[in-house]
């Protein structure tokens, strides 16, 4: 895959039959990143949805997904798209992702014909926050700072991994402090490269980046970091609502709040805002949060 680190390349799909498309993974990492499953499957679903009665594309309004098995980056992903319903206002698609003959991921997505409606949302005071060009640390820099000297191999792997998403951490917690932290975490996010004008691609990119840091926050109330060798984690399921159109290659504020940790799982909510405080999407994810002794 040429320029495999670029988000536009990661999201590209190859049609291979009726309702079947192939996605490929960039040549780094061991497991398929959860956001890749989300973005590729959403784009596969969008491509099968007919326009509305006025001939305009229907926009995704929500998705619900389950991560069933770890993905293999060396194996193409086969996406099988099924039409669940095509109504006057809404269309629903199911996408199942297969590798090695087994289902690894499943998504249901709803698409809505654009229509006028009542407008309301609480608006946060984003203008009071430092902007993405204020010299904020990247999420990668913060993660690297959490590793002890005896984790040199993990540090090297993290340093060499390309970043298709730019992340600027507004208020990063101390990287190695055991102090519990339950305040919302805020960061600026966008695609590292341009994504063109296709609204479906931008929606898929938003789904991709929504998995970038979300479940990472679940251990903070316990004073832990992913660099702790006792922690085992993975995305389990993901729900996302697309409130308003947005460009994923322009800066958005991602505010993330831990809702609960219990029973070896953590649940985190994230809200994506334009710089003017307009809410564009909200997401909730449950992840495995297992502590070994």
Q: Return the domain boundaries, the chain.
A: 7-114+130-291
Q: What is the pLDDT of residue 79?
A: 98
Reported as a pLDDT band with limits 50, 70 and 90, residue 144 is: confident
On the question of pLDDT at 2 being above 50, the answer is no
Q: What is the pLDDT of residue 140?
A: 82
174 vs 120, higher pLDDT: 120
Active site residue 211: yes
Q: What is the pLDDT of residue 5?
A: 76
Q: What is the pLDDT of residue 160?
A: 62
Reported as a pLDDT band with limits 50, 70 and 90, residue 163 is: confident
Question: What number is the average pLDDT over the span 159-182?
Answer: 83
Contact criterion met (CB below 8 Å) for 96 and 79: yes
Active site residue 237: no
Q: What is the pLDDT of residue 156?
A: 61
Contact criterion met (CB below 8 Å) for 206 and 281: yes
- Most confident range, picked from 4-13, 170-179, 181-190, 226-235: 181-190
Active site residue 133: no
**188: which strand partners?**
168, 253
224 vs 3, higher pLDDT: 224
On the question of pLDDT at 150 being above 70, the answer is no
Q: Which of 36, 191, 235, 256 is catalytic?
A: 235
* 199: exposed, middle or buried (Cβ count in 10 Å: 0-12, 13-18, 19+): middle
60 vs 159, higher pLDDT: 60
1 vs 202, higher pLDDT: 202
Task: Please state the φ and ψ torsions of residue 274, each to the nearest 5 degrees.
Answer: -70, 165
Tokens 């998504």 correspond to what residue? 107
Question: What number is the average pLDDT over the span 105-114?
Answer: 97
Under DSSP, the state recorded for 4 is T
Q: Which of 211, 216, 249, 271 is catalytic?
A: 211
Q: What is the separation, in whole angstroms, between the first and last Cα of the chain?
A: 40
Reported as a pLDDT band with limits 50, 70 and 90, residue 74 is: very high
Q: What is the pLDDT of residue 1?
A: 40
Q: Which of 185, 191, 256, 285 is catalytic?
A: 285
To 10 degrees, the CA torsion angle through 225, 231, 237, 242? 10
pLDDT over 70 percentage in the chain: 92
* 37: exposed, middle or buried (Cβ count in 10 Å: 0-12, 13-18, 19+): buried
Q: Which of 13-17, 151-155, 203-207, 286-290 has the lowest mean pLDDT?
A: 151-155
Decide if domain 7-114+130-291 falls under CATH 2.40.160.210. yes
Question: What number is the average pLDDT over the span 197-203?
Answer: 97
Question: What number is the average pLDDT over the span 4-11?
Answer: 87
Question: What number is the average pLDDT over the span 243-247?
Answer: 97
Strand order of the sheet with strand 20-23? 13-17, 20-23, 77-86, 90-99, 102-112, 59-67, 231-242, 279-291, 265-273, 252-262, 185-191, 165-169
């Amino acid at each position: 895959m040429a320029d495999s680190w670029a988000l536009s390349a990661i999201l590209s799909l190859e049609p291979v039959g009726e309702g079947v498309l192939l996605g490929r993974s960039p040549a780094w990492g061991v497991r398929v990143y959860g956001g890749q499953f989300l973005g590729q499957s959403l784009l596969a679903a969008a491509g099968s949805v007919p326009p509305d009665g006025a001939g305009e594309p229907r926009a995704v309004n929500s998705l619900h997904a389950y991560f069933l098995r770890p993905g293999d980056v060396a194996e193409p992903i086969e996406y099988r798209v099924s039409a669940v319903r095509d109504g006057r206002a809404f269309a629903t698609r199911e996408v199942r992702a297969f590798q090695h003959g087994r289902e690894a991921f499943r998504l249901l997505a709803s698409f809505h014909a654009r229509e006028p409606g009542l407008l309301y949302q609480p608006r946060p005071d984003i203008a009071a926050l430092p902007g993405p060009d204020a010299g904020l640390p990247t999420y990668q820099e913060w993660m690297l700072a959490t590793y002890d000297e005896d984790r040199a191999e993990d540090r090297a792997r993290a340093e060499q991994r390309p970043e298709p998403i730019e992340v600027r951490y507004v208020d990063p917690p101390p990287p190695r402090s055991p102090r519990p932290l339950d305040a919302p975490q805020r960061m600026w996010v966008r695609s590292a490269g341009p994504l063109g004008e296709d609204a479906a691609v931008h929606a898929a990119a938003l789904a991709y980046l929504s998995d970038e840091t979300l479940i990472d926050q679940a251990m903070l109330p316990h004073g832990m970091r992913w660099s702790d060798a006792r922690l085992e984690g993975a995305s389990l399921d993901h729900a996302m609502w697309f409130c308003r159109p947005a460009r994923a290659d322009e800066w958005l504020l991602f505010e993330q709040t831990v809702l609960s940790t219990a029973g070896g799982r953590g649940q985190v909510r994230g809200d994506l805002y334009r710089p003017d405080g307009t809410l564009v999407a909200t997401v909730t994810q449950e992840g495995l949060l297992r502590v070994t002794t």
